[in-house]
Amino acid sequence: MRRTLFESLTHAPLTEPAPAPDEAALAELAQSVNRTARAKLGRSLSIRQIDAGSCNGCELEIHALNNAFYDLERFGLHFVASPRHADVLLVTGPVTKNMREALLRTYNATPDPKWVVAVGDCAFNGGIFGGSYAVAGGVGGVIPVDLHIRGCPPTPTELLKGLIALLDRANEVAVRRA
């Protein structure tokens, strides 16, 4: 264990500011998220993820946001275990009829102000599961959605992009309310 720990002290971090073509967007996003988050929400934004019927693909990529390459927490964005602690609900999946009630209760348990981000093509409009007897449809049909992040599943970079859009929007709302 000591060797692994020491190595992470002496080696450059994996976390990417990397300006290589594909990673440029990520580095740029990193700065942008940081600025907006700090200005409008102090230093932190708590996210509660809810799988309302997803195939689990979106969850895998949301998980990846926590790894050393994307390191979401450096922006003050972090996942929390309870909707009571959340500012943002990150909802995946077509909403199945069997999960509709649980999603509504989770939404109601989240204190205001709150934002809902629907992640993935299924969360947008039900995706390829739309029209099924067991599916209620996109997230927007059940609770109000502030932002959609499309993709099947969206990559961690696309998820980061979406979070910026959300912060900008939260910003607008805050300005309007003031």
Partner 1 sequence: MSAMARTPVTEQGWNEAIERLAGGRATLLGLWGDGDDVTMALLDGKGVTLLSNRCPNREYPSVGAQHPPAIRLERAIRDLHGLDAAGAPDRRPWLDHGVWHGGAPTPYAFLAAEGEGLHQIPVGPVHAGIIEPGHFRFTANGEHVVRLEERLGYVHKGIERLMQGVSFDAAVKLAARTSGDSTVAYSYAFALAAEAALQAVAPPRAAYLRALMAELERLANHFGDIGAICNDAAFALMHAQTAILRERVLRAAHTCFGHRLMMDLIVPGGVVRDIAKDGADTLRALLAEARKRFPRLVELYDNTASLQDRTVTTGVVRSDFVRQFGAGGYVGRASGRDFDARRNLAYAPYDALKFDVPVLEAGDVNARVWIRIREVEQSLSLIEQILDRLPGGPIAAAIDGKGAPCEGFAVAEAFRGDVLVWLRLDSGGRVARCHLRDASWFQWPLLEAAIEDNIVADFPLCNKSFNCSYSGHDL
Helix (H) or strand (E) holding 47: strand 45-51
Instruction: Please say which residue, 36 or 110, places its beta carbon nearer to partner 1.
Output: 110
Instruction: Please say which residue, 36 or 127, places its beta carbon nearer to partner 1.
Output: 127
Size of interface with partner 1, in residues (CB under 8 A): 49
Which string of DSSP letters, residue by residue, matches 125-166? H-GGGTT-TTEEESGGGTS--SEEE-SSSPPHHHHHHHHHHH
Binding partner 1 (rule: CB under 8 A), the pick from 37, 41, 46, 59 is 59
CA atoms in the 13 A half-sphere facing the CB of 20: 4
Stretch that binds partner 1, among 37-45, 80-88, 137-145, 167-175 (CB under 8 A): 80-88
Q: Which of residues 137-156 bind partner 1 (CB under 8 A)?
A: 152-153, 155
Q: Does the protein bind partner 1 through residue 63 (CB under 8 A)?
A: yes
At residue 102, φ and ψ (nearest 5 deg) are -65, -40
Binding partner 1 (rule: CB under 8 A), the pick from 26, 30, 135, 163 is 135
What does each C-alpha distance from 172 to 82, 111, 144, 166 come to in angstroms?
A: 26, 19, 17, 10
Q: Does the protein bind partner 1 through residue 24 (CB under 8 A)?
A: no
In terms of phi and psi (left: phi > 0; alpha: psi -120 to 50; beta: otherwise), the region of 117 is beta
Q: Does the protein bind partner 1 through residue 1 (CB under 8 A)?
A: yes
Q: Does the protein bind partner 1 through residue 124 (CB under 8 A)?
A: no
The C-alpha atoms of residue 165 and residue 52 are separated, in whole angstroms, by 22
Residues in contact with partner 1 by the rule CB under 8 A: 1, 3-5, 14, 49-64, 66-69, 79, 81-83, 93-94, 96-102, 106, 128-129, 131-135, 152-153, 155
